[in-house]
Copies of this chain bind each other. A is one copy, B any other.
Amino acid sequence: MELQSLSGVALAELGRELEARYAGFKGRGLKLDMTRGKPSAQQLDLADALLDRPPQGFLASDGTDARNYGGLDGLPEMKALLAPLLEVAPAHVIIGGNSSLQLMHDTLVRAWTHGVPGGQGPWGKLAKVKFLCPSPGYDRHFAICEHLGIEMINVELRDDGPDMDHVEELVRSDAAIKGMWCVPKYSNPTGTTYADGVVDRLANMPTAAADFRLFWDNAYAVHDLYPEGDRLKDVVAACARAGYENRPLVFASTSKISLAGAGVAALASSPANVADAKRHLGLQTIGPDKLNQLRHVAFYKDLAGIRAHMLRHAEILRPKFEAVTQIFEAELGGKGIASWTKPRGGYFVSLDTLNGCASQVVSLASEAGVKLTAAGATFPYGKDPRDRNIRVAPSLPPLDQIRVAMEVVAVCVALASVRKLSA
Determine which of B65, B262, B284 lies in contact with A41 in the assembled complex, contact meaning CB atoms within 8 Å. Answer: B65
Is A260 a contact of B68 with CB atoms below 8 Å?
yes
> Quick one: which of B36, B69, B288 contacts A260, CB cutoff 8 A?
B69
> Which B-chain residue is minimally distant from A106 (CB atoms)?
B284
List residues of chain B with CB within 8 A of the CB of A143.
Answer: 283
Do B292 and A289 have beta carbons less than 8 Å apart? Answer: yes
In the bound assembly, the distance between CA atoms of A255 and B290 in angstroms comes to 13
Query: Is there a chain B Cβ closer than 8 Å to A30's Cβ?
Result: no
- Considering the chains assembled together, what is the distance between the CA atoms of A58 and B143 in angstroms? 30
Binds B, one of A95-103, A311-319, A361-369, A376-384: A95-103
Which residue on chain B has the smallest CB distance to residue A70?
B261
Known: A113-B113, A261-B71. Contact between A286 and B98, CB under 8 A? yes
A144: contacting residue among B106, B109, B283, B291, CB under 8 A: B283
Chain A 236-262 against B: per-residue CB contact (8 Å), 1 yes, 0 no?
Answer: 000000000000000000010001111
Which residues of B lie under 8 Å from residue A66 when comparing CB positions? 261-262
Tell me the residues in window 43-73 of chain A with beta carbons closer than 8 Å to chain B beta carbons: 44, 47, 51-54, 58, 65-71
Query: Is A147 engaged at the interface, CB distance under 8 Å to the other chain?
Result: yes
Q: Confirm or deny: A148 has a beta carbon within 8 angstroms of a beta carbon on chain B.
A: yes
Q: Is A112 an interface residue (CB 8 A)?
A: yes
A260 CB to nearest B CB, Å? 5
Number of copies: 2
B-facing residues in A87-140 (Cβ within 8 Å): 97-99, 101-102, 105-106, 109, 112-114, 124, 140
Distance in angstroms between the alpha carbons of A148 and B36 in the assembled complex: 37
Shortest CB-to-CB span from A379 to chain B, Å, is 17
Query: What is the CA–CA distance of A147 and B276 in the complex, to the nearest angstrom?
Result: 13
Residue numbers in B under 8 Å from A68 (CB-CB) = 38-39, 41, 44, 259-261
Shortest distance from the beta carbon of A138 to any chain B beta carbon, whole Å? 13
Q: Is A287 among interface residues, defined by CB-CB distance under 8 A?
A: yes
Q: Say yes or no: is A7 at the interface (Cβ < 8 Å to chain B).
A: no
Contact of A286 among B67, B114, B147, B255 (CB under 8 A): B255
- Given A38-B68, A144-B283, 12 more A-B residue pairs with CB atoms under 8 Å apart are A44-B68, A51-B58, A51-B67, A52-B52, A69-B255, A71-B261, A97-B289, A102-B285, A106-B284, A261-B291, A262-B291, A262-B292
Q: Can you name 5 A-B pairs with beta carbons within 8 Å?
A: A38-B69, A44-B67, A102-B284, A106-B284, A289-B292
Shortest beta-carbon contacts, A-B, top 7: A102-B285, A105-B284, A67-B259, A99-B285, A44-B67, A69-B260, A51-B53
